Structure 1
Amino acid sequence: MTIRNLSSRIIAYGGLCIIGLILLLRLTTDSSSPSNFDTHGRDYFLHREVDNAARGQWGNAENRQIIKRPDDEHVHMADSILQNELKRQKYPARVNMGDCPRLFGKVTVLVVVVESSYKTHYRVAQNSLHCYLKSVNYTFVLVDLDHDARVKKHCPHDQLFFKKHCAASVYLQDTDWMLVLDADAGVVNPNHCIEEWIDDRVDLIFYERFFNWEIASGNYLVKNTEFARNFLRKWADWQYIQPSNWNGADNGVLQIHILQTVMPGAKAEIKACDAIWHRGSDYDTYMAYVSCIKVMLGATRLWPGKIRVYRRAHGWVRDGYLTSDSWSEHDFMMHGWKAQEIGAGGWQSPYTQMLNASECGNGYSGWYWRKEKRVSTEDIRVMLANFEKGAGRNYPKVARVHPYLTEPDIGECYPTCDDHT
């Protein structure tokens, strides 16, 4: 081998080493796609898609954040600037029956009743509510739909549930925020402030019923705004245009009223759910309509400036029978207490005796709990998890529909289906 050939080989070998070193450095510093699509591979695709979006419309990538989950996974979150625009003013949790500062202004609790049923039901629930109100600075309003002058003047509705929402729109003008309650909603744990569930990014706050995912109509939070008052009045006026079949009354109306309010451009989707609603003949077929609304709303639960829907068991109130009236520190109110007395019909309630508001207002005085009914949050979670499984198994078969597979999507509106989007 000549010296010249040897030199050429050394130069070539050196060049290959340099190229290899460059590639190695690039692999260790560049965010190239991993060879195996495992947890890190999923992270790569999440990073890539959000990075592309960020470069296109969200500004510099330096503003983005990586949020670490407890299971050591990483999920690339959206631009921090975008998140700040939707940031909620978090209300501090109540501690040991302390004060509830007015961070959101005046709060009113409204209970709407009819005289005949109020005299024979709800005493346990209402006594617990009055005991709670002695410890806070909220305004309480009890409206009798049969005799209230303001309601008679502004609400010509003759169906109780729709008239209730009209009454709420009337009394909403007197406050900043209002908690509207069914008469059978009682307080199980007074160590909470109503404001803990107020979200100042929206004007109306609802929650899902646990056993069927339906957005509940009986208890809700509402802010005194023109949007909210109009929403309540339109909801009430659905009395005159509701379908005549098995329709779920004001609860059925609420589902499509929310869909129309937060997604006004979804004409085909609204029409599909409305068609299923009008075909309802009993509870099971009505639930097909509820399923349709759930599909159309998707995973979104917050529409800024409009509405928020708390997921099941995360609102201020839940049905007491889900846990046999057992409760934990995270619970506040329970729904479904229709009895006049503790022990009526075999119902124990969480209390050993009737509450008396005259004994309340000084810490926990006046609250006579059954010790066995207070349990840990983990105990409640297990109870709810078991009920959740049963609710899924028992969901009506006829209600397990996917509207995009059974109702027209573009067949009736093509080629103008997207004109309202």
Structure 2
Amino acid sequence: MYVRVNLKIILFSLIILFSIFVFLNLYHKYNNITFPIEYIISPLLPTNISHTISIISIVDNDNIDNYEVAINTIKCYAAHFNYKYLLLNINRYPNLTKLCHQKDFMYKRHCFLAKYIESNLNEDDIILFIDADIGIINPGHSIEEYIPKDGEEIIFYERIFNHEVMAGSFFIKNSVYTRNFLINWSKYDFKHPDSFDGSDNVGLHYLLLDYIPDVYTKNKLKCHEIWKSAKDWRDCSIFVACTKYIISKACRYNNSIQNETNEYYSLDGDKIKILKKATKRVWVRDVWLTNSLWSLNDFMLHGMKMNKINSWLFGYWYLQLNMKEFNFAHCYSNKYLYNWIHYKRYFTTNEHIKSLLSVYKNQVKKLFYQELSESKIETF
């Protein structure tokens, strides 16, 4: 009897193990079904663009392994469409870094960028600045879809999962105006309060208030008091909500040179645009927001760090591309799309992505009003 029971247990265990093996094998095969390349259509670049377009990332050491996927996709895309791609290690430019005395690299990079483009690029050239962990998921878009137009000098966008204006990617024209903006931004390394300051992405918001006439920002010192006493990221979030409230309010004054629409905030007579969350001119979003899913409306994704693939770290993500098939020689030919071999399970519809992002947008909207109330700026 005892032997029969043991045999049944062994047989049952073998059946379970076999079932698990079959499931994992099928799951692995499903995960590795690649996305038909015909779904992505190479964009036709406009012929009336007279400016050179450069994509620039700035780092402070030569170890860029953590950005391998992101950098390879950007590099290939730029090579194919004849954009300049500049991955700049500031330590290789001592003649420029000696002009930038910031201690925080995140601020220093903006000073360096201003000095570099002044010395090396032509006036009015277009620059797309990106963090090194931003890559291209869908090469079916052209950069020309997103560049500054008319009197626009600088284009920022709002992040989806918080109140912030993104500091890690923006468009600028190479001009005295934008270089001064970058220098003024970098100077906040010396001007930020001695608190949990949040580095350049938080400092950017107080800088933006400098580009609104004082008559519209008379209450900004209230925001500064919050920043001055900040002890953590939540305090910084309250500070950012405070500054965003002032920006929005300044845009609503009659005869103001600021403006607000459903798509953007416009500051300093349209020179500075801040695109609102997930609007159509936004070129990049965080990869982890949709559990690594993407759709044809997506162009670039932020947060593509190798050490966060399949991890449990904040911002973890799953690799959507079969990089084993990546061949840089294809980048210069009509086969360049074959470097974007997507795993099918991560592709979805535009509507599904919009729905997923809307959940974050609604949550952040509620949090904004909650933190705005805590800031007490509305009582002024």
| TM-score of the two chains, using structure 1 as the length reference | 0.69
Write the distance in 1 (CA, Å) between the matches of 2:328 and 2:78. Answer: 9
CA deviation string 1:396-418 (max 9, x = no partner): 95554364445xx4xxxxxxxxx
Aligned to 1:374: 347
Aligned to 1:132: 77
1:75-90 aligned within 5 A: none
Offset, 1:170: 1.7
Q: Contact conserved, 2:148 with 2:173, CA < 8 A, in 1? A: no
2:277 pairs with 312, 315, 319, which one? 312
Q: Is residue 302 from structure 1 mapped to residue 266 from structure 2 by the alignment? A: yes
CA deviation string 1:232-255 (max 9, x = no partner): 001111111111101111111100
Write the distance in 2 (CA, Å) between the matches of 1:342 and 1:293. Answer: 34
Q: 1:104 to 1:252 in 2, by over 3 A?
A: farther
Aligned to 1:236: 186
Q: Contact conserved, 1:111 with 1:142, CA < 8 A, in 2? A: yes
1:331-350 aligned within 5 A: 331-339=298-306, 347-350=317-320
1:170 pairs with 115, 125, 128, which one? 115
Offset, 1:183: 0.5
Q: 1:395 to 1:272 in 2, by over 3 A?
A: closer
Offset, 1:140: 1.3
CA deviation string 1:237-287 (max 9, x = no partner): 111111110111111110011121133433422222212221211111111
Aligned to 2:321: 351
Write the distance in 1 (CA, Å) between the matches of 2:366 and 2:270. Answer: 36
1:254 pairs with 200, 204, 217, which one? 204
Q: 1:270 to 1:391 in 2, by over 3 A?
A: closer
Q: Is residue 321 from structure 1 mapped to residue 288 from structure 2 by the alignment? A: yes
Aligned to 1:46: none
Deviation beyond 6 Å, 4+ runs, structure 1: none
- CA RMSD of the aligned region, Å? 2.5
1:140-289 aligned within 5 A: 140-173=85-118, 174-175=121-122, 176-200=125-149, 201-289=151-239
Q: Give the 3-state SS of the residue equivalent to 1:179 in structure 2.
A: strand
CA deviation string 1:351-400 (max 9, x = no partner): 12353422324252221111222221111111111232344456695554
Q: 1:101 to 1:113 in 2, by over 3 A?
A: farther
CA deviation string 1:114-135 (max 9, x = no partner): 216x334111111111121122
Q: Contact conserved, 2:294 with 2:346, CA < 8 A, in 1? A: yes
Offset, 1:207: 0.5
Letter in 2 for 1:180: F
Between the aligned residues of both structures, percent identity stands at: 27
Q: Gaps spanning 5+ residues in structure 2: where?
A: 1-39, 252-259
Write the distance in 1 (CA, Å) between the matches of 2:231 and 2:310. Answer: 37
Q: 1:353 to 1:308 in 2, by over 3 A?
A: same
Aligned to 2:64: 119
Q: Which has the greater radius of gyration? A: 1
In the alignment of these two chains, the number of paired residues is 313
Q: Contact conserved, 1:127 with 1:356, CA < 8 A, in 2? A: no
Write the distance in 1 (CA, Å) between the matches of 2:95 and 2:57. Answer: 15
Q: Which has the higher contact order (CA 8 A, sep 6+)?
A: 2
CA deviation string 1:312-349 (max 9, x = no partner): 12311100111122112211100001116966778432
Write the distance in 1 (CA, Å) between the matches of 2:56 and 2:307. Answer: 20
CA deviation string 1:46-82 (max 9, x = no partner): xxxxxxxxxxxxxxxxxxxxxxxxxxxxxxxxxxxxx
Aligned to 2:297: 330
Q: Gaps spanning 5+ residues in structure 1: where?
A: 1-93, 410-421
Aligned to 2:28: none
Q: 1:371 to 1:396 in 2, by over 3 A?
A: same
Letter in 1 for 2:126: W
Write the distance in 1 (CA, Å) between the matches of 2:155 and 2:50. Answer: 14
